[in-house]
Amino acid sequence: MRKMVLLPAALALGLAGCSNDSMTPGGRDVLIGGAGGALAGAAIGSFTANAGVGALIGAGVGVVGGYLWNQHQVAERQAAERRQQQLDAAYQRGVQTGERQRNTAPTTTTTPR
């Protein structure tokens, strides 16, 4: 019974640390993954009377999963920034081309009738 009380309390305390603004997104993802993995591992391990071992294995898997998720998010953010930079550069090239064409185009004058 004591383990059943301590595990949720430890998970709640760990997740409460995620609300701190000083934590990086990567640290938060790893912590949430570890806590979620520990909870799932303990639940699965309780069926075989090894909730502690299940929690440790689940926490390890969760930490790795949280880290990989964070790396995926970082790569997506960097790719979006590169795409935006490419779009900005293409826009500026278009503006410059338009300016050159406007400045080199022959001027036509119309005579009033």
| Section 18-28 average pLDDT | 73
Distance CA 28, CA 13 (A): 13
| Section 75-92 average pLDDT | 96
Position 6 scores a pLDDT of: 59
Sequence-separated (6 or more) residues with CB below 8 Å from residue 36 = 62
Q: Count of H helices and E strands in the chain? A: 3, 0
Distance CA 43, CA 88 (A): 50
**CB atoms closer than 10 angstroms to residue 44:** 15
Higher-confidence residue of 91 and 103: namely 91
Does residue 3 carry a pLDDT above 80?
Answer: no
